[in-house]
Structure 1
C-alpha cells in the first residue's frame, strides 16, 4: 500500500471516514472514481465500500452529513445518497458492502454474500477498476492495489483481476464494457482478454437489449468510437448484437474490380463526425448510412459494383435495428432522414442545377440540413488527396448555392407559408386527404419557384388548385 495525496479528494469523503471510525467499520473509496482521479478525469459518481452492512451506515451518512435523495436497494443491500461538498459541489454516492459473488450460468445477476476487501476487489471487471483508497483515520489515504491496477493505468491496458473467461462468463456485459473503456480511455486490451471475448461472445445473449444498448451508446459517444467498434467486430460481438452492421464487412473482387470495405469505411465516417459533433443520433446516422449496401450489392461488367437503392433499403433496416435493440423511436425519423438524403447534396454541385433543386433538398432536410451536410462531408474517406480536395470543393459550391437560395427566399429553415388549418379555413374543407393533396401541391409550387414564398400568393394558389381539382373530377373528395 502507498499513500494518496489528500488534496485530490473532496473533504466530505473524509467526514464519511470519520463516521466509519465511530461505527467501527472499515471504509474505502473504490472503483471508477479512484481510476478517474488518477487519470485526472472528471467524475462525480462515487462508490463507497464498507466491510459490513452498508444500509445502517448509509442512514448515518444521510443523517449526520445532511444528505438528500436517499434511495435504498434492499435486495442488494446498497444505498444511494447525494451530499454537498464546499469545493466539489453536489456528489452522488453509492454505499455498498464488501461482497463476494457467484453466478447462475443462465443469468448475469449475482448471488451475493458478505465478503472481504479482497473478495470485493477481485469481482470487479478490470484491474483499473479494482483500486481502493482507505478513508478511516488510521489508514486514511492508503492505496489498496491488489491486482496492479495502477501499473495497468500507466501502461494504458485493460486486464481482468481474475481469469478473463471466468470474468466474462459471470457477467457477459463486461465484454461490452471492455470495448467501451478502450474507446473512452484510449486503452488497449491484452491478447488474453480479446481471446476470451471471442470465446464467450455468444453469452452476450443473456444480457438485456437495454443494457447492451446502454454500453453501445457509450462507445458511440467516445472521442474515437471506432476503437471500441473495431473491438466489437474483431471479437464477433458486433455480429451477435447487430448482425446487420457486421454484414457490411469484407471486400469482394470480380474481374479485377473490387469495392471498399463498407464496415471500416463506416467506422471512419463515425470518427469524422465525432471530430465535429457530440450529437449521438448524428453519429448513429453515420453508423447506419450505408447499412443497406449488403442487400443491394450487385456487379455489372460495365458499371462495376453498384448499390442502387441502398438508401431506401437502409431506412427500413434502421427501423428494424431501432426496434430490436429498443433504441428510442423518437430519434428514428431523424436517422432515417439522414440515411435517405445522404447522397443528395453532391449532385447539386453541378453548375446547371436549378434553384428549385436546391430548394427541394432544403425542404426535404428541413432543420436538419446542417447535420446532413456534416454527415456528407464525413462520408469522404478517400486516401487520395486530390480526390478529397475535389469533393470538398464541390461541397463548398453546394453550400454556397444553399446560402444564395436561402437568402433569396428565406428557406434556410423552410416552413410552408400557410398551414393545413389555413387551407381548411380558406376553402371550408374538413380535415382529410384532400387538404393534404392541396398542401403538397402548394409546397411543390413554392419549391419549384412557380409562386413566391408569400402567404397571400399561397392562399391564391390553393384556391386556384382547388377550383382546378373540382372542375377536373367534379367531386374532388
Structure 2
C-alpha cells in the first residue's frame, strides 16, 4: 500500500537563523536575483528562487546558476527579460522555461507547472499552474521542493524539505509510487542524489524503488546515461551504486555489476567480486589528481565484469578467471554503447579493462625493455589512468603482499621513466617512414608498404631505436626473407598504416 503523501503545512515555514543566512548569503553573491524579482513584481508577477538553488544554498554549496519559478507565462517571461539580460534563449519554452544570462549569472525561469503524465512515456502533458505549492508538489524530492519568495525573501517549505535536509533523507513530496510513476527517471535520480549529497532514501522511497525498478526501461538510454554519469562523478558513488544494486535498478541499467556478487574473488580478499570492484573504484577515486574522472571510475567499477563468464573451479577448489580481461573489455563496449556513451569514452574504458591485468606478468621485474615499451605503447594516452587503476586493483588485506605489489609497480614506473628519457615512448614509430621504405625497396604505395612498416615497428619495440643504417639493413633482411626483390613483388598482405 502506498504511504500517504506528507500533508503540506498551512503556512510557509521559516528556516533557522543559520539556514536563512545561507540563502541570503547566496543572494549577496547574486544580486541579479533581487534585480530580476523587482522587475517581475513591477509587472504584477510573483517570482521564487526554487529547487536545487535553494537546496544547495542551505547546504553551503553556492552556485552562479539560479533556478526560478513564477506565475508569469512563458511569453511574459520573455518580454520581462528582454533588454535586461545579455543573452536569452527559449529552447525549453515548450515546457515553460526561458533562460537568461545577466552579469555572468545564468537564470532559468519556469512558469508554475501542474503537469499530467500518461503512464507510458516520461514526457508530461505540459500544463501551467497558478501556485508555488502546486509547482513544488510535482518535484522529485522534498529537498528540491523548497522556494524563496522574492524580493521579500519569505521561505516556502510546504513538504518538509528543510527537515529532510537536516536529517540527510531523500523523500518525495507526494507518495513515491505516484512520483516515480509520473517519471521513472526519478528512480535513478534518487540514487544520483545519494551519491552527490551522501543522503539516505526514506524507507517508503526504497520500497517504491524496489517495486518499480523495471519501469526504468521506459526511459531513453541517453537520459539514463546522463544520470548514471552524474552518480559516478558524485562525492559518494559507492553509496549510489549500492542503492542501485540493492533495489534492482542496476539490473536494468548495469546488470553486469550485480552479477558480480555471485563470484568469489580468486584471492579471497572480499566476500565477492562485487565488493572488490567497489573497493577498487574507491581507491581509484583516491588517486584522482584533476577532479572526478568518469573514464577511470567506470573502468574501476567494470574492470572485473568478465569474471562471471570465465569462472572455473580448478583442482584444489581454487577459482580461476582466465582471460576475464578480454571478455570484460567486450562486455564493457557492449554495455557502454547501449547506454549511448561517446565513442571515445567507450573505447578508453574498454581498453583500460583489457589492460588492467597485464602488469601481473611483471613479477619482480622480469619484463624486458621490449615488454615495457609495449605496455606504454598499448596504453597510449591512457597510461596515467592505467597506473592508477592497476595500483587501485590491489585490495589484499595482507600488508606485506600489498607493499610488495606497490614496490613492484614503483619499479615499473621507474623503468618507464628511464626508457622514456632514452627514447620517445610517446611516439613509438618505425625508424623509417613510408617514403623511405618505398624508396629503398623500389615499391609503390600499397599494402606491401604497410607490411614493411609494421615489421619495422615490431623491431623498434623489441630493440629500441635503430640508427638509419641499422634500420635500412633490417628492412633489406626482411625483404629478402619475404622474397621481395627490387621489383617489390611479395605475398599479399592486409592494409597497413605507413607514415608518409
The answer to whether TM tops 0.5 is: yes
Residue 215 of structure 2 corresponds to 203
Do 2:265 and 2:271's aligned partners in 1 also have CA atoms closer than 8 Å?
no
| Map of 1:262 onto structure 2 | 273
Deviations 1:377-404 (A, max 9, x none): 1111223323222211221122222223
Contact 1:62 1:70 in 2 (8 A): no
Confirm whether residue 307 of structure 1 aligns to residue 307 of structure 2. no
The offset of 1:468, in angstroms, is 2.9
Which among 58, 63, 68 is matched to residue 38 of structure 1? 58
Q: Matches of residues 256-335 of structure 1 in structure 2 within 5 Å?
A: 260-277=271-288, 278-302=292-316, 304-335=318-349
Cα distance per residue 1:441-476 (max 9 Å; x no partner) = 111212211x63545543443343223323599633
Q: Does 1:123 align with 2:155?
A: no
Separation of aligned partners in 1, 2:476 and 2:407: 44
Over 3 Å counting, the alpha-carbon distance change for 1:474 and 1:412 in structure 2 is closer
* 2:233 corresponds to which of 221, 233, 238: 221
Q: What SS does the aligned partner of 2:90 have?
A: strand
SS at match of 1:125: coil
Retained in 1: the 8 A contact 2:77–2:98?
no
Distance 1:129 1:112, change over 3 A: same
**1:182 and 1:189 in contact (8 A); partners too:** yes
Aligned: 1:50 with 2:70: yes
Out of 377, 380, 390, which is 1:363 matched to? Answer: 377
Question: Is 1:61–1:67's contact at 8 Å kept on the other side of the alignment?
Answer: no
CA distance in 2 between partners of 1:284 and 1:174 (Å): 22
Contact 1:183 1:228 in 2 (8 A): yes
Deviation at 1:135, TM superposition (A): 0.8
Question: Does the residue aligned with 2:153 lie in a helix, a strand or coil?
Answer: coil
Report the CA distance shift for 1:340/1:445 in structure 2 as closer, same or farther (over 3 A).
same
CA change 1:381–1:176 in 2 (3 A) is same
For residues 52 and 253 of structure 1, the distance between their equivalents in structure 2, rounded to whole angstroms, comes to: 59
**CA distance in 2 between partners of 1:224 and 1:422 (Å):** 55
**Structure 1 residue 259 displacement after superposition:** 7.6
**SS where residue 261 of structure 2 aligns?**
coil
Partner residue, 1:476: 491
Query: Which 5+ residue runs of structure 2 have no aligned equivalent?
Result: 1-12, 493-500
Contact 1:49 1:97 in 2 (8 A): yes
**TM-score, structure 1 as length reference:** 0.91
| Aligned-partner Cα distance in 2 for 1:119–1:353 | 67
- CA displacement, residues 238-275 of structure 1 (integer Å, 9 cap, x when unaligned): 01112223221224599xx8984112211221221122
Match of 1:87 in 2: none
User: Structure 1 residues 323 and 467, CA, compared in 2 at 3 Å: closer, same or farther?
Assistant: same
CA distance in 2, matches of 1:153, 1:299: 49
Tell me the CA shift for residue 341 of structure 1. 1.3
Q: Distance in 1 between matches of 2:197 and 2:441?
A: 62
Distance in 2 (alpha carbons) for counterparts of 1:234 and 1:19: 49
Higher mean C-alpha displacement, 174-183 vs 348-357: 348-357
- Asked whether the 8 Å contact 2:431–2:465 carries over to 1, the reply is no
Query: Any conservation in 2 of the 1:346–1:395 contact (CA below 8 Å)?
Result: no
Structure 1 residues 252, 73: CA separation in 2 closer, same or farther (over 3 Å shift)?
A: closer
Cα 1:155/1:420, change in 2 over 3 Å = farther
For the Cα contact (< 8 Å) 1:349–1:395, is it kept in 2? Answer: no
Aligned pair 1:80/2:93, yes or no? no
Flag the 1:426–1:270 CA change in 2: closer, same or farther, 3 A: farther
* Deviation of the 1:102 alpha carbon: 1.7
Whole-Å separation in 2 of the counterparts to 1:400 and 1:72: 53
1:286-314 Cα distance to aligned partner (Å, 9 max, x none): 22211211111111124711111111111
Asked if 1:231 corresponds to 2:231, the answer is no
TM-superposed deviation, 1:123: 0.7
CA RMSD, Structure 1 to Structure 2 (Å): 2.5
Q: CA deviation at 1:176?
A: 1.0
Distance in structure 2 (CA, Å) of the matches to 1:186 and 1:426: 65
Aligned residues of 1:223 and 1:275 also touching (Cα < 8 A): no
Q: 1:45 to 1:258 in 2, by over 3 A?
A: closer
Distance 1:261 1:112, change over 3 A: same
For residue 179 of structure 1, report the CA deviation from its aligned partner: 0.7
Distance 1:456 1:129, change over 3 A: farther
Give the distance between the partners of 2:62 and 2:285, measured in 1 at CA: 20
Structure 2 contact 114–135 (Cα < 8 Å) conserved: yes
